[in-house]
Amino acid sequence: MGDDRPDERVAPAGSVGYRAPDDGAAAEAERLAHLGALFDGPTIARLRRLGVGPGWECLEVGAGSGSVARALASLVAPTGRVVATDIDLRFLDGIDEPHVEVRRHDVATEDLPPAAFDLAHARGVLEHVRERECALARMVAATRPGGAVVVEDVDWLVFDAQELPRAFARVHRSIQDAYAASAGYDPHLGRRLPRLLERAGLVDVEAEGRVFTMIGGTASMEWYVLGIERSLPVLVDAGIVDARDAADALAEVREPACRLLSPLQVTAWGRVPRR
C-alpha cells in the first residue's frame, strides 16, 4: 500500500496489508478462515447493535476472505448492498451473493465514492497502513452524514506483558520490530483508535475491547502462527530470525499445553456529523 503496502520481505504474521505469495495461498486461506471463526461473531454483533439492517449500503475495507461481507449481505438484504474491497482479490473469488460487489482498491492511495455508504468498516487494516489517517479520512468521506464508521485493530500490550515461551518470544518480537521499522506497522494502534476517530471528525465515538485464550494447536493460536510460518523463509534469509529459533518457536506454541492471552482486539466506532 505506495507505497504504504508492507514490504513482503519482512511482512509479519497476521498481516492483511500485503499480497500473500502464490505458494502460500492455501495457508493464507486457512489463516483467514481461522480469523473469521474467531472474530466474525463479535464483529457482526457490534454492527447489528449499530443498527445495520435491510437497505443499508455498506463498505467493507480489506475484506480478506469475504466472511464479514457475506454476513453483512444477509443483514442488508433484500434492498441493500455491500461493496467489499481489497488489494488482493484471490480470496474473494468465491463470493456470489447478489448483494455483494467486489472491487480491487487500495485505501491507502485511492479515493472512494463520496458519501456513498451508511457504514464503512475495516478490521485489521489500518494498523498495517503507514498513512492510516489518510486511509481513515477516505473511509469517513465515503460515509453519509449520520452513517457509522467502525474500525477494529489490535493492541499487543496484553500479549507482550505475559510470559511467553522463550524461542517464540524472540521470534515474535523480532518480526514485530522489523515490520514496524520497515513498513510503519503500529502494534499498539488499538488503544489509539478512539482518538484517531475523533481527529477524523467523527462524533459519538466509543470503543470496546476483547481478549481470549489462545490454545496451542487450535484456531485460536493458528490465526497468528500460520502467518509467522509463512513469513519465516524470507525472514530467516534476511537474517531477521534465526532458523533454529524459528523451528523451536513454532513447536512451542503448537503444543496443546500452550495457553496465551490474545492481543487486545479493540473495536472503535463513531458517526459522521449530520450537516
Q: Please give the pLDDT value at position 23.
A: 56
Residue entry with cell 477524523 = 200
Inside any domain, residue 243 = yes
> Is 70 inside a domain boundary?
yes
Is-above-0.85 flag for pTM?
yes
pLDDT of residue 22: 52
Among the listed residues 153, 158, 140, the one whose alpha carbon sits nearest the alpha carbon of residue 270: 140
CATH code at position 31? 3.40.50.150
C-alpha distance from residue 5 to each of 8, 11, 16, 194, 207 (Å): 9, 10, 10, 24, 27
Residue 248 has pLDDT above 50, yes or no: yes
Range of the domain at 210: 8-271
Tally the domains of the chain. Answer: 1
- pLDDT tens-digit readout, 127-150: 999 999 999 999 999 999 999 999
Q: How many CA atoms lie within 13 A of 13 on its CB side?
A: 22
Confirm whether 253 is domain-assigned: yes
Assess if residue 255 is contained within a domain: yes
Query: In 10 A of CB 138, how many CB atoms?
Result: 22
